[in-house]
Amino acid sequence: MGIDPFNEWNASYEILPGKEKIIIELKKIAKEVNHIYLATDLDREGEAIAWHLRKVIGGNNTNFSRVVFNEITHNAIIKAFKFTKKLNINYVNAQQTRRFMDRIIGYMISPLLCKKISRGLSAGRVQSVAVKLVVERERKIKSFVSEEYYKLYAYLKNSKNLPLTLQVTHKKEKIFKPKNKNKIKLAIDILKKIDFFVINSFEKITFSKPSAPFTTATLQQAANVRLNYNIKKTMLLAQQLYEAGYITYMRTDSTHLSQDAINMAREYILKVFGKSYLSKKERKYTNKNNLQEAHEAIRPSYINIISEKKIKNLKLDAQNLYNLIFNQFIACQMMSAKYNFINITVKADNFKLHTSGRTLLFDGWIKIMPLLGQHYNDKILPILKIGEKLKLIKLIPNQCFTKPPVRYCEASLVKELEKKGIGRPSTYVSIITTIKNRGYVHTIDNRFYAKKIGEIVTDRLEESFNELISYDFTAKMENNLDLIAINQQYWKNVLNIFFKKFLQKLEIAKKDPKDGGMQLNKSVITDIDCSICKKKMMICTTSTGVFLGCSSYTMNIKEKCKNTINLIPKLEILNIIKNFNLKKDILLPQQYCHNCNTIMDCYIIYGQHNIFYICGKNPLCNGYKIKKSNLNHIITTKCKKCSYNMYLKQGCFGNYMLCINDTCKNTIKILSKSDIATL
C-alpha cells in the first residue's frame, strides 16, 4: 500500500519508473538558482504536488515560495509573484488523508472481492457509491410495472369564438386520473350534458433569472447535455483552454466572480447588447459551504476574446466549449427573461379543468444563452371573465402509461454525486472511467446500465461494509477533509477512527459465509449438457459478463473442460432487432423466479437463440428457465451483395452479421449503439 496504518501512518513515497530523469534535471537546476517558486494548481492536490516537489528537490525550505493563481493572465501572474505564500501543510494533510483512506479501502477490500466473487474486481470509497447509484436505478427500472391511465382534454370556445383547450384535472376535489376506459367514458357522458363556467382567470408578469457562472460540475453537465461531450473530453478541452490562457482555473466548486470580472462582463453587455439587456444591479453569486477552494467560477480570462470569432490554435470542439463558458459568464449579468403568464380554471359540475401558458415578452439573458434557457412554448390564451360560460366543441381522451425512472447519463450522474456531496470536481472523470473499465456498468446512447457483476459487488459491499458505501459516509468524509484543510481536525485522528471501524468489518467479511462472512459468488449448475464432455453447464458471473461454463472446469487438469457458451443480454438483442419493428413484450416477456418470485434477468443462449432466464438474486438463488424461441429466424437481415440471409455472430471484437453464402461471407459490423452498419 505504501502506507503503514499500524505505525503512525508512515508513508513510503517512491519516484515513478521513468520519471527519474525529470527529478535529476530539477535537482540540477535547483542548485543553480537562489530561490524556487512552486506554482502548481491551487487546490488540495496541487498543494500536495508542490509539497512533494519540495521534498524531492531537497535543500533549505526557506528557499521555496508558493505562488497561486486561478487564471493564466499577465496581471494574475504578476500579482501572484508579488504576494507569495508558504506551503499550506493543512491542505497537504487533507489530501493525504483522502489518499490514505482510498488506499486502505482499495488495497484491503479489492483482494477480498477477487477471492470471494471474481478476479479483476476492485472497490473504492467513491467509485463503489457511484456504482450503487446506477444499480439502485437499474433495479427500480426492472421492477417497474407500467400502469395505464387516461387524460381527458376539452376543446372549448368562448363568447368571441376563440378556441381553448383545457385538461380535466379534478373530480370532487380529487385528482382526475381514471385507469380504465369505462371510467373515462362515464366522465365524457356526464361532461357532454353540463355547462362550463370560468371560475378563475388571471395573468401576471413572471421573470426567469440566469444561472450562475459555471463550476466544474455544472460545466460537465452543460457540455454533456448541450454539446454531447463526455466529462473526460470536457475536462481535457477545459485544461487546454486554461493552459492557453483563455479561461480561469477549471476545477472549482465556486460560483464567485471577482469585481474585475463582473465589471468586464457588464461593460461588454452595455457595448454589444445595450442598456436594456444589462441587469440593473450587479449579480453576485454566493458560494456553497466549501472550505477547500476559494477561487472564482470558470470564466473567460479576457473578455476581448470574442466567443463568436475563431480562436487561434484551437480545434472546433475547444471553441464550442469556450463559447459555452463565455456565454454563460455574460448571461449571468444580463436582465432576466420576461414572460406574460396566464392561468385559467374552468368548472363543470364536480369537474375542474385547467390550462396555463406563457409568452415571452423580453428575451433578456436568453438572447445569448438560448441552449440553457428554460424551455418554453408560446401558448396564446384569451383573457376570460370570471363566470363566463364556454361552449363545448369536443372531448378527447388520451391513453397514457406510467414510465419508469430515467437512466443516468453522465450529466445526471455527476449532478447526483454533487447533490449528495460525493467526490470532488477533479474526481468525477476518474470515477466514471473506473466503473466502466471494471465492468460494473456500461453505456448505450449515453445512458448507464448496471451489469450483473456490478449488482453482485454492490450487494456484497452493502452486506459487509454498509456504512462504507452509504451516501452519508462519503459526504461526511468530504466535510472532514475540509475541516482538516483549515486545521480544525487532526488528520491522523480522522484516519485512526475510520481504520478502527474498518478493520472490524473487514475481519468479519473474511470469515466463512456460515459465520457471517461475505457471501461467495457460487456458480449455479443447470440441466444443459456440455457439448464436449457431456457434463452439466453452470451459470458463471465475472467482470466480463454472464456466461455458461462447463462444471468440470474446477476438476483436476486431466478432466478439466474449458468449454463455454456466451449469453447475450436481452438489452443487446432488443437494440439489434429494433430495426425490424418487433414488439418487445411479445418477443422477450418479463418472468418471475419460481423459487423467490424475483424478476428474472433475460439472456439469449448464443448459437441456440433460446431465451434463458436467470433469477435476479443469482447466485444466492439457483432459479432459471429456458424457453424455446424463433429468434434464429428473427435476428437476420438480407445481404446486400448476394441477397442471402445474414445471421448474428459473435467474435473477439463483438457482435456482427455474417452472410451464410459460403462464396460471399460478407460481414456487417454491429455498431456500439447496436445499430446495423451500412455497407
- Which are the catalytic amino acids? 249
Please provide the size of the chain in residues: 679
**Phi and psi (nearest 5°) for 59?**
100, -170
Distances (CA, A) of 641 to 148, 577, 632, 661, 665: 46, 21, 21, 10, 10
Strand partners, 637: 646
Q: How far, in Å, CA of 232 to CA of 224, rounded?
A: 10
Closest to 454 (Cα-Cα) out of 512, 521, 407, 507: 521
Give the pairing of strands 36-38 and 64-66.
parallel
- With left for phi above 0 and alpha for psi between -120 and 50, is residue 59 left, alpha or beta? left
Q: How far, in Å, CA of 221 to CA of 234, rounded?
A: 9
The answer to whether residues 221 and 411 touch, using CB atoms and an 8 Å cutoff, is yes
Instruction: Enter the C-alpha cell of residue 197.
Output: 363556467
The answer to whether residues 34 and 63 touch, using CB atoms and an 8 Å cutoff, is yes
Chain centroid, CA 141 distance in Å: 16
DSSP H or E run through 337:
strand 337-348
Q: How far, in Å, CA of 523 to CA of 541, rounded?
A: 8
Tally of CA atoms within 13 A in the half-sphere of 17 that contains its CB: 0
The answer to whether residues 524 and 539 touch, using CB atoms and an 8 Å cutoff, is yes
SS3 639: coil
Q: Over the range 521-542, which residues count as b (16 or more CB within 10 Å of their CB) and which as e?
A: bbbbebebebeebebebbbbbb
Percentages (nearest 5) of helix, strand, coil residues in the chain: 40, 25, 40
The answer to whether residues 536 and 529 touch, using CB atoms and an 8 Å cutoff, is yes
